[in-house]
């Protein structure tokens, strides 16, 4: 696996700036950040030293994936087996002890605060406070400190290599949206549309370069599209009617890098009201894109989008922020940059976020157009050109 030298350099610099000797993380997104390998079962622990050396203690079942995606030193353990009924943490303890033996008096950054994590599998391990308890026992003279803010900052701007994987994620997701455009029709249930779109996404050969490609497509039609302003999307059994707005929302994943995408369709020719909603939203999108460049604040981009919505009389229908950091998760309340009226997050080259102008009317429906955008040296690049 080729090294992501840029990511390693950034981590080393961040540790130098914070005077930490190492970072130790077990949450999947953070293991990905530190190693390039995205755990499946959540039972892996990454140890990143301030000199750039990185090790990961991982289940032996995940070696194949890790070898193809990471150049970290891989230290395999057997989380379960016919020989034991002990838990994964008990099984990895010895390997972790040897991976951390140089850290006797170190200052070590760990995650302690609330955070959001993507779904890595149908079920996954959480060490809760037990990993930190174990580390304190192993390294009684080390100092453990919260590195939550540092990690969020590091996750915000992607390296060129990370951007490449995110671009692949967008290409794979595009297949689902193309299918949505072809298959949405009055008379189908939302579940049928979502299933058809999901299947097109899952079987595409666009995903061939990836170890793991999966994700979720949702369909919300008519009044249910108005409910898409919520923090989560939900496909229901509603039968789509002629004249409905039909929203397709996707959160898809390419080897640990996520998308957050929405397109809205109509059954039949859009009505005048619908045309006005689409027109306002596409103008707001253009204004938002125009505002994006390095050193601009998150709230300035939100204002650019929101102003256009207000000019079209859709200010109160635009119920959420104009965007949020996307990449190491599809959404993250701590994720930078926040494209929000109160955000003073400063845009930097490589930051990736969604731009999602929208209008929702309870009982009627909603339109949202949600793209994935990367900040470039002189502006922005839309990663979702479909």
Question: What residues between 1 and 40 interact with a copy of itself by CB under 8 A?
Answer: 27, 40
Q: Does residue number 136 form part of the binding site for a copy of itself (CB under 8 A)?
A: no
Which residue stretch of 46-54, 115-123, 135-143, 359-367 sits at the interface with a copy of itself (rule: CB under 8 A)? 115-123
Please state, in angstroms and rounded to a whole number, the distance separating the CA atoms of residues 141 and 136: 8
Q: Which of 51, 149, 203, 241 lies at the binding interface for a copy of itself (CB under 8 A)?
A: 203
Piece in contact with a copy of itself (CB under 8 A), picked from 30-38, 178-186, 198-206, 376-384: 198-206
Structure tokens at 228: 């898409």
Q: CA dihedral in degrees (132, 19, 4, 61; nearest 10)?
A: -10
Residue (of 231, 229, 232, 225) closest to 193 by Cα position? 225
Task: Kindly state the smallest distance separating residue 111's Cβ from a copy of itself, in Å.
Answer: 7
Q: Regarding beta strands 107-110 and 143-146, do their DSSP bridges make them parallel or antiparallel, or are they unpaired?
A: parallel
Binding a copy of itself (rule: CB under 8 A), the pick from 102, 160, 199, 290 is: 199
Shortest CB 377 distance to a copy of itself, Å? 27
| Nearest of 216, 214, 194, 218 to residue 203 by alpha carbon | 214
- Shortest distance in whole angstroms from residue 270 CB to a copy of itself: 26
Q: Looking up tokens 């008379």, which residue turns up?
A: 187
Q: Which of 138, 195, 297, 346 binds a copy of itself (CB under 8 A)?
A: 195
Determine the interface stretch with a copy of itself among 13-21, 210-218, 265-273, 288-296 (rule: CB under 8 A).
210-218
* 377 near a copy of itself, judged by CB under 8 A: no
Q: What's the min distance (Å) between Cβ of 191 and a copy of itself?
A: 5
- Residues contacting 133, CB < 8 A, separation 6+: none
CA distances (Å), 373 to each of 25, 163, 337, in order?
28, 10, 12
Q: For residues 21 and 103, is the Cβ–Cβ distance under 8 A?
A: yes
Sole window of 96-104, 159-167, 214-222, 283-291 interacting with a copy of itself (rule: CB under 8 A): 214-222
Decide: is 363 part of the binding site for a copy of itself (CB under 8 A): no
Q: Minimal CA–CA distance to 330: which of 263, 270, 249?
A: 249
- Positions in 251-280 near a copy of itself (CB under 8 A): 251, 253, 258
Which parts of 286-345 interact with a copy of itself (CB under 8 A)?
Answer: 319-321, 329-334, 338, 340-343
Name residues contacting a copy of itself, limited to 52-81 (CB under 8 A). Answer: 59, 61, 79-81
Q: Which is nearer to a copy of itself, 84 or 137 (CB)?
A: 84
Q: What are phi and psi of 119, to 5 degrees?
A: -75, 120
Report in angstroms how near the CB of residue 326 gets to a copy of itself at its nearest.
Answer: 10
Q: Which of 9, 67, 84, 98 binds a copy of itself (CB under 8 A)?
A: 84
Measure the CA angle with vertex 213, ends 208 and 218; round to 5°. 130
Q: Residue written as tokens 């949450």?
A: 27
Q: Of 50 and 252, which CB lies nearer to a copy of itself in the complex structure?
A: 252
The whole-angstrom separation of Cα 215 and Cα 193 is 15
Classify residue 188 by its DSSP letter. S
Q: Contact 261/173 with Cβ under 8 angstroms?
A: yes
Is 362 near a copy of itself (CB under 8 A)?
no
Interface residue with a copy of itself, options 2, 19, 205, 377 (CB under 8 A): 205
What six digits make up the tokens of 288?
Answer: 């938002």
Backbone dihedral angles phi then psi of residue 352, each to the nearest 5 degrees: -125, 135
Residue 127 engages a copy of itself in binding (rule: CB under 8 A): yes
């Amino acid at each position: 696996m080729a090294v992501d030298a840029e990511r390693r350099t950034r981590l080393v610099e961040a540790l130098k700036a914070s005077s930490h000797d190492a970072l130790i993380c077990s949450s999947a997104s953070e293991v990905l950040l530190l190693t390039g390998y995205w755990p499946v079962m959540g039972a892996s622990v990454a140890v990143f030293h301030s000199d750039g050396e990185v090790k990961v203690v991982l289940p032996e079942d995940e070696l194949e994936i890790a070898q193809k995606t990471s150049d970290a030193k891989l230290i395999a353990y057997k989380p379960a087996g016919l020989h034991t009924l002990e838990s994964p943490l008990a099984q990895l303890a010895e390997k972790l002890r040897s991976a951390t033996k140089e850290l006797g008096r170190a200052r070590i950054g760990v995650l302690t605060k609330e955070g959001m994590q993507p779904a890595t599998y149908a079920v996954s391990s959480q060490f809760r406070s037990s990993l930190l308890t174990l580390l304190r026992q192993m390294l009684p003279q080390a100092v453990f400190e919260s590195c939550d803010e540092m990690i969020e900052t590091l996750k915000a701007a992607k390296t060129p290599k990370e951007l490449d994987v995110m671009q692949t994620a967008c290409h794979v997701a595009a297949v689902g949206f193309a299918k949505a455009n072809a298959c949405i029709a009055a008379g189908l249930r939302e579940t049928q549309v979502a299933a058809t779109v999901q299947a097109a996404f899952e079987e595409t050969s666009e995903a061939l370069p990836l170890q793991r490609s999966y994700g979720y497509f949702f369909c919300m039609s008519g009044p249910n599209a108005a409910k898409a302003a919520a923090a989560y999307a939900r496909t229901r059994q509603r039968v789509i009617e002629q004249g409905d707005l039909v929203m397709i929302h996707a959160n898809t994943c390419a080897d640990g890098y996520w998308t957050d995408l929405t397109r809205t369709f109509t059954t039949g020719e859009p009505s005048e009201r619908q045309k006005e909603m689409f027109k306002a939203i596409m103008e707001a999108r253009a204004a938002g894109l125009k505002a994006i460049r390095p050193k601009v604040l998150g709230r300035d981009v939100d204002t650019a989008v929101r102003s256009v919505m207000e000019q079209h009389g859709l200010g109160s229908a635009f119920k959420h922020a104009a965007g949020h950091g996307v990449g190491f998760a599809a959404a993250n309340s701590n994720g930078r940059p926040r494209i929000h009226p109160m955000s003073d997050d400063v845009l930097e080259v490589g930051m990736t976020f969604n731009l999602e102008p929208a209008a929702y009317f309870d009982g009627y429906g909603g339109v949202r157009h949600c793209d994935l955008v990367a900040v470039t040296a002189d502006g922005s690049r839309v990663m979702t050109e479909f």
